[in-house]
Amino acid sequence: MRKVRGFRSALLAHFDRTRRNFPWRFDRTPYRVLVSEFMLQQTRASTVLAYYEPWLRRFPDWNALAGASTEEVLLAWKGLGYYARARNLHRTAAIVRDRYQGCLPRSPAVLMTLPGVGEYTAGAVGSIAFGLCAPAVDGNVRRVLARLLDAERPSASRLREEATRLLDPARPGDFNEAMMELGATVCTPRAPRCGDCPVARHCEARKEGTVAHRPAPRPPRKIPRTDYATAVPVDPQGRSLLVKRPETGLLAGMWEFPAVELLPESKRPGGSGGGSGLEDSNVETAALKRLAELGVSGKMAGRLAPVRHAFTHLRAVYHPVVVRCGEQALRQLHLPKKQAVRADPHDLDSRALPVAQQKIGARLAAWLRDCCQVATRGPYD
């Protein structure tokens, strides 16, 4: 027990001296803590800094967030990625407002019933916002514990048991943050700064010389690739068509240029993963067919450079095809008004577009500028 007390004391003293001054550490009300934890899931703190305070200005409490539309929430989250987090946070706010009278439940077990709240988030919120003795094991803490234990592939239950044993009951929130901070700044995946570590004398991996190998890297998994023919219709005013994605699934409820999935790479003739294996005519035909399904006709006018985007489970490649349409073409859609909108590609910031779709919009805007420049040149320019 003396070693455990020494570990806690050394770690917290280091944290008190060196902690980074993130805005979510100054006001630990439950709402603000939960917002920060949702934003920090799978995202670097340096990235979250640009979103946290603007979000709180737009949605300062449970009521403001619960009363907002999905479109407003996704727009405020735009660029932060993993949009399911935004939808889950939105749903959680409505539950807290309607079921719990605007007070976030204190119990980690009850917190885990809320959308998007797992064991780690429940522990982090419970300890930081409510001072509960609940461990919080994220990726950084997993690495710190694996090295402390000199464990190659420690199980989740073993890590949780060790985190619970070490947790300081007097300052559980600070302790959990200190462990995360240690992993993020000192006990890093590569080139850990063991000489600066406040708990180095407790580290079994350092004694055994195995720090670089703890924890053992997870075996790489093959991430499939999917190609999309993406129709980019343009009317005479340079406006394009955006359609809303379904309310469930990948990028739910967000806007995109009309697209259709092409034949998977493994099923293409000669598709071994080296090249795209796509015929230009197939992409263009698929894009025009997708527009026809929406009631839009036009002529192929050009191709934009492919846009690649990596999701956690998928490598997506979008192949944009520009289609020139008549004045009325984008008005006669086989979609409800709320599912489609005409948009100026130079002004897409007011729409909740995923990153890949923003890139397509930027390329379309550049393509239109080039077309205008060519059209205005004299015969001898």
| CA angle, residues 300, 330, 282, in degrees to nearest 5 | 30
Distance CA 315, CA 162 (A): 36
Mind giving me the DSSP string for 78-100?
TTS--THHHHHHHHHHHHHHHHS
Q: Return the structure tokens found at 307.
A: 């846009």
The conformation of residue 282, written as its DSSP 8-state character, comes to H
Kindly give the pairing relationship between strand 259-261 and strand 299-303: unpaired
Catalytic one of 37, 177, 181, 265:
37
Give the residues across from 307 on adjacent strands: 318
Give 104's contacts (C-beta < 8 A, 6+ positions apart): 30, 31, 34, 62, 96, 111, 125, 129
Q: Is 37 a catalytic residue?
A: yes
Q: Return the structure tokens found at 347.
A: 């002004």
372 exposed, middle or buried (CB, 10 Å; 0-12, 13-18, 19+)? Answer: exposed
Q: How far is CA 324 from CA 154, 231, 334, in A?
A: 58, 10, 19
Would you say the C-alpha torsion 293, 297, 300, 305 has a positive or negative sign?
Answer: negative
Beta carbons of 221 and 206 less than 8 angstroms apart: no
The residues carrying an active-site annotation are: 37
